[in-house]
Amino acid sequence: MRLRVKYSKGGRAVFLGHLEMLRLWQRAMRRAGLPLAYSHGFNPHPRLAFGPALAVGIESLAEYLDMELTVVLDPAEVKEKLQAELPAGLEILLVFAIPDQAPALTAIIDAAAYRVAWEEPPDPKILQQKAEALLSRPEVQVSRPGRDGARVKDIRPGVFQLAVKPEATLAMLLECSSRGVVRPEEVVSAMALEGPYRVTRTGLFIRRGDGLLAPEDLVNPTVTGPEAKMQRFMRR
């Protein structure tokens, strides 16, 4: 059976990179006694797959991973056993079954929501003006380092939404897909915002028209019209 796990990542766990997270989850699953399915071939490894990568140092309220088991187990039992083996900073929010032929997380997720908060909050009016100015631009070019030197990329098509919250934080909905990724720090830089700030990934989504689906919604679909889009984004 295939199970999908939704979890949060905070505390000291935010400093763990992808390979460290992979090893950590594998050890936790073995200690929990879960009957993991393994790949075939010369070097078998557990059938475990993560969602879109999260940069080191960023807290997240909604990360996902898929695992495959050799026997059918109650997802609630898996959640309890697995949580007991995880370190502080990793909290399992949901465990649910998915069809064996369900597409991989990285194949369906195409948007990530972020919250940016400053140690010294900027003036909300100025923040709103900068957000509106960026959204009105036809192009937002940023420089990205590469093996052959820096290259310029237009990130404007991947900035889906920007919203200023009453507490002078900035909520972003950005492209996060196999076609391309927009980084929250690139948006902050393009808005010419200064001062120390903290980024939190608040959700990963599948865009469906004007609506947003979380990966768990594919099992129990919810309303996907404009109302759902606004509710999901604005409550972050």
| The domain boundary residue, chosen from 86, 107, 128 | 107
Poorest-pLDDT segment among 49-63, 127-141, 221-235: 221-235
Q: What is the pTM of this model?
A: 0.90
Two structure tokens written together for 184: 């929250």
CA distances from 35 to 31, 67, 98, 228 (A): 11, 10, 17, 37
Instruction: Say how far residue 154 (Cα) sits from the centre of its chain.
Output: 22
Of 102, 121, 58, nearest to 217 (Cα)? 102
* Average pLDDT rounded to a whole number, residues 211-236: 63
Two structure tokens written together for 132: 């509106």
Per the structure, the complete domain to which residue 82 belongs is given by 2-107
**200-218 pLDDT, tens digit each:** 999 999 999 889 999 999 8
Instruction: Say what percent of the chain tops pLDDT 70.
Output: 93
CA distances from 221 to 65, 230, 232 (A): 19, 17, 14
**One domain, residues 74 and 147:** no
CATH number, domain with residue 70: 3.30.70.580
**One domain, residues 192 and 115:** yes
In the chain, how many domains are there?
A: 2
Report the 10 Å Cβ neighbour count for 72. Answer: 9
